[in-house]
Amino acid sequence: MKIDIPDSVKYIIAQLEDAGYEAWAVGGCVRDSLMGREPKDWDITTSALPEQTKGIFRRTIDTGIAHGTVTVMLDGIGYETTTYRIDGKYSDSRHPDSIEFTRSLNEDLKRRDFTINAMAYSDTKGLVDLFGGASDLKNRIIRCVGDPSERFAEDALRILRAIRFSAQLGFEVDPHTMKAAARLRNKLKKISAERIHSELDKTLMSPHPDKFRLIHSSGIDGVILPELADRIQKDPSLLKKLCDTLLSAPQNGHIRWAALISISGGSIDILKRLKFDNNSLHIISELLRLEKTPLTGLSDAEMRHVMNNAGAAGMPLLFDYRQTMYPDTDLTASKEQYGAILKRGECTCIKDLAVNGRDLLGVGVPSGADVGNMLRLLLKAVLDDPSLNKKELLLEKAVQIRG
């Protein structure tokens, strides 16, 4: 079996070998190469201790020295180079209490999560596949290295990683592995919101987001997404709706999360719990708020009001979200109408008005809240009738309204 390793990775491996150590490409890059996919990055595992690795290469970064990881920099690209290690006991369901460096590649491969992620490769020595990873790749199966119950009890994040890889690769989770994941699901309570968010996000954004089905069938949703679990329990047809919707949705995080939240009952508490950043929280809330705003059969004035109201989400995203949630709606005419308004350059927000706050102060509008209120009144008039968007007309109107 031959894998096409980039020259830089060959160089790092050769340098380590020349210095008397073992070194291999390992994990995701071997998996992706064997599948004919371009690896995102190349990780290296070596018998050299971190200090020894640092002594060999000119530019290195101490990425996680305590865990044995040094990033070797070549031509501006970083290669994580990690010392063979054995993870000690896990008492918090996530991190080993201690780690130990070892001289044995086999020990290092044993600590890895899934068979497809536990293969090592070097050009000189070929593929090391102790747990049947290549055969699981061929049969498209996610299977734990060793006893799945032990592995999930050690680190519960692996439960979500199993489902995430199944969604990214379109693989089945081996039944024993899946059963153990379901049995140990409560351990996910120990996992940080950020890590859960990241795995769920990768699952939602994958080519097979309908693998979300596994999160429900295993009862994992009861632990991390109780709102969704409750809704599906009350109306089991929602599971199919969720999977179909996610599958047909464009690969956009705001749309896919909004769809998930909508089907879970519409509360953004889920996003807050998962520590979403404020910008995403805002955009997804806007999509949910506008979920039922009419978009078809509108007058131009009504469309301009919707455009103004779409705010941070913006019309293209709103159209995509609507199409995702209501696939039978024909939005062609509405999109054309929206495009025509844009093309005519009509004002749809305060900053497009022909007057600004200073202009209003100039005609005697008192400073403070009155300025903003007046701008909003003028905008409403201009949304209804774009021909009013001229400075003299608007100032005249402002005086009239005040007077």
Instruction: Name the residues that contact ligand ATP, by CB under 6 A.
Output: 27-28, 40, 43, 112-113, 117-118, 155, 157-158
Q: Is 357 in the site for Mg ion (CB under 5 A)?
A: no
| Smallest separation (angstroms) from ligand ATP to the CB of 154 | 8
Nearest Cα residue to 22 out of 112, 124, 132: 124
What is the size of the binding site for Mg ion (CB under 5 A)?
1
Q: How far apart are CA 348 and CA 302, in angstroms?
A: 11
Measured from the CB atom, the residue of 134 and 381 that comes closer to ligand ATP is 134
Q: How many CB atoms lie within 10 A of CB 127?
A: 17
Identify what 199 binds: Mg ion, ligand ATP, none; CB under 5 to 8 Å per kind: none
Identify what 398 binds: ligand ATP, Mg ion, none; CB under 5 to 8 Å per kind: none
Q: How far apart are CA 299 and CA 142, in angstroms?
A: 53
Measured from the CB atom, the residue of 162 and 303 that comes closer to ligand ATP is 162
Measured from the CB atom, the residue of 169 and 353 that comes closer to Mg ion is 169
Measured from the CB atom, the residue of 112 and 254 that comes closer to ligand ATP is 112
The end-to-end CA distance of the chain, in Å, is: 85
Identify what 17 binds: ligand ATP, Mg ion, none; CB under 5 to 8 Å per kind: none
| Smallest separation (angstroms) from ligand ATP to the CB of 293 | 37
Q: Can you spell out the DSSP letters for 350-386?
A: GGGSS--HHHHHHTTPPSSHHHHHHHHHHHHHHHH-G
Q: How far apart are CA 55 and CA 248, in angstroms?
A: 51
Measured from the CB atom, the residue of 40 and 89 that comes closer to ligand ATP is 40
| Smallest separation (angstroms) from ligand ATP to the CB of 103 | 19
SS3 56: helix
* Cβ-Cβ contacts under 8 Å for 237 (sequence gap 6 or more): none
SS3 64: strand
Identify what 158 binds: Mg ion, ligand ATP, none; CB under 5 to 8 Å per kind: ligand ATP
| Smallest separation (angstroms) from ligand ATP to the CB of 187 | 13
∠ CA 297-379-335 to the nearest 5 degrees? 30
Measured from the CB atom, the residue of 33 and 117 that comes closer to ligand ATP is 117
**The pairing of beta strand 172-173 with beta strand 141-142:** parallel
Tell me which residue has its CB nearest to ligand ATP.
Answer: 28
| Smallest separation (angstroms) from ligand ATP to the CB of 215 | 18
* Cβ-Cβ contacts under 8 Å for 63 (sequence gap 6 or more): 69, 70, 71, 78, 80
| Smallest separation (angstroms) from Mg ion to the CB of 40 | 6
Chain mean position to CA 273 = 16
Q: Is 28 in the site for Mg ion (CB under 5 A)?
A: yes
* Cβ-Cβ contacts under 8 Å for 234 (sequence gap 6 or more): none
Tell me which residue has its CB nearest to Mg ion.
Answer: 28
Measured from the CB atom, the residue of 90 and 319 that comes closer to ligand ATP is 90
| Smallest separation (angstroms) from ligand ATP to the CB of 148 | 12
